[in-house]
Structure 1
Amino acid sequence: MGFEAQKTNRIRGEKFLQTYFSGRVLDIGCGPDLVTPTAQPFDREHGDANHILDYLPPQTFDCVHSSHCLEHMEDVRNALAQWWTLVKPGGHLVLVVPDEDLYEQGYWPSIFNNDHKASFRLDKKNSWSPVSYELRELLSNLPNAEIIEIKIQDNEYDYALLRILPGPFGRFLRLLGKGTLWLHYKRRSLFQRFGLGKTGIDRVFNKIERFLGMPIAQTDGQAVAQIQAVIRKI
């Protein structure tokens, strides 16, 4: 998921940016996509975000921002607790994570990012994912935390392409689908290598994949499939 902060900023609007990204801002896991030009980046070259307190002192920042990084942490609760410790009293944590239904789409391990170690849901008691966290509960357990907003962002997302099937039949289709997905990428790479366009076989595969409910990486385009939360430290 590349340059997600830029896509999310277009959704947030100018008022949001001025409200939360003023003062001293830390952007964790930003890569080349800083949430604001004045933010201080913290990425792999700066250290291990799982143990960020080894590099930065507590209560240093007016805002700590992280977009699509928490799902890569080895210990989600511990990493989040350390990020929260960096926030000054009265400051904010702005967190964005993939929504497991919209992004992972019933497949685990993730087929779109094999470095994902956790998935996230919002206001749902149960999950198909074996490593799922309910985000509201997770954030509510932070000390002195007030959730200002928490919501699913699905701009440009086409729900007609989403199909998550629970139970044994769904698991069977997911196993079958993984093999189909492998063939899908293999044939795409072959077509690109030899400069081939759409063929009759390609169209047949597309129909099979749609019938099986194969997931489509909509976030490769302008769509977002995520949960955003803003938490204030009281």
Structure 2
Amino acid sequence: MHSRKELLNWGLKTGTEVRQSYARWLHDGFFDRYLSGQHILDIGYRGYDESARAITPWAKGIDLDYPGYDGKNLPFPDKSQDTVFCSHVLEHIEDYRSAIIEWFRVLRFGGHLIIIVPHQFLYERKLSPPSIWNQDHKRFYTAGSLLKEIEEAINPALYRIRLTEDNDRNFDYSIPSTEHAGGCYEIIVVLQKILPPTYIFEFQKKARGRVHKLIVRVFSKLLKKEEIPVADQSEIWNNYQ
């Protein structure tokens, strides 16, 4: 067990954005609620700082040089982690759905996924990409757009949102958009993985029925348009009944 003083000292050498919120998270219970487990992954923890530490002394810092990690697939079993922490990472990933699915896969039931991204109207301060401050940013984010991407990637029946925050602590609103932002300029979302509710299986059954009907309708239209011989139509139709 590490003392609060030891953790504060540790936090001084975490990544730039994490460092700005570290003391507050220790004080307000964020660490106790979401980062107290023994099995924690900190994805992309170095960022542009090769000397940066992972979020806690016991967390595994995951970067491209981590053994078995190819930048997409985590070398950990399903449901093996208490927390997956991803700060200022998602905006750099083109295939955000696959990334979120993979982070969620390794979480145990009851575990937390923490995603932090730069805020469009705090960090970027423009309407659309490219970013002035980081050309590698694939998308701009508001809280709504981040939650939308999460819901696109994961069935919302399988998790609960425990925190959504526009973090503008010490943000200097007087700095013009032509200069780099000062203070905190990010969105924080924490979701918790839950046991699949019993009613989700009924949802899946109904969804399969709808998909089946849709396939039949689509193939019917395609077949009429393409004038496929009747014998071929019958064969395809029978395969999708």
TM-score for the superposition, normalised by structure 1:
0.66
| Count of residue pairs the alignment pairs up | 168
Choose from 85, 103, 107 the match for 1:87.
Answer: 107
Partner of 2:192: 232
Equivalent residues in 2 for 1:88-127 (5 A)?
Answer: 88-106=108-126, 108-123=129-144
Partners of 2:16 and 2:187 in 1: how far apart? 16
Code of the aligned partner of 1:79:
A
Task: For residue 8 of structure 1, report the CA deviation from its aligned partner.
Answer: 2.1
The CA RMSD measured in Å over matched residues stands at 1.9
Is the CA contact 1:59–1:86 (under 8 Å) kept in the aligned structure 2? yes
Task: For residue 38 of structure 1, report the CA deviation from its aligned partner.
Answer: 0.8
Aligned: 1:137 with 2:148: yes
Structure 2, unmatched stretches of 5+, are 1-14, 47-51, 195-241
Choose from 41, 45, 60 the match for 1:26.
Answer: 41
Task: For residue 152 of structure 1, report the CA deviation from its aligned partner.
Answer: 0.4
Aligned: 1:215 with 2:178: yes
* Identity, % of aligned positions: 32
Is the CA contact 1:6–1:33 (under 8 Å) kept in the aligned structure 2? no
Q: For 2:53, what is the secondary structure of its paired residue?
A: coil
Partners of 1:230 and 1:62 in 2: how far apart? 13
Equivalent residues in 2 for 1:149-188 (5 A)?
Answer: 149-162=163-176
Code of the aligned partner of 1:157:
F
Partners of 2:112 and 2:135 in 1: how far apart? 30
* 1:47-100 alpha-carbon deviations (Å, 9 max, x no partner): 333x124x2222110100010011111211111111111111111001111011
Code of the aligned partner of 1:215:
T
Task: For residue 108 of structure 1, report the CA deviation from its aligned partner.
Answer: 2.2
Partners of 2:141 and 2:22 in 1: how far apart? 21
Code of the aligned partner of 1:48:
D
Choose from 64, 77, 81 the match for 2:97.
Answer: 77
Partners of 2:44 and 2:34 in 1: how far apart? 18
Partners of 2:70 and 2:20 in 1: how far apart? 25
Q: For 1:48, what is the secondary structure of its paired residue?
A: coil
Report runs of 4+ in structure 1 exceeding 6 Å deviation: none
Partners of 2:23 and 2:181 in 1: how far apart? 17
Partners of 2:24 and 2:151 in 1: how far apart? 25
Q: For 1:229, what is the secondary structure of its paired residue?
A: strand
Task: For residue 27 of structure 1, report the CA deviation from its aligned partner.
Answer: 0.4
Is the CA contact 1:95–1:230 (under 8 Å) kept in the aligned structure 2? yes
Structure scoring higher RCO (CA < 8 A, sep ≥ 6) equals 1
TM-score for the superposition, normalised by structure 2:
0.64
Code of the aligned partner of 2:179:
I
Q: Which has the larger radius of gyration?
A: 2
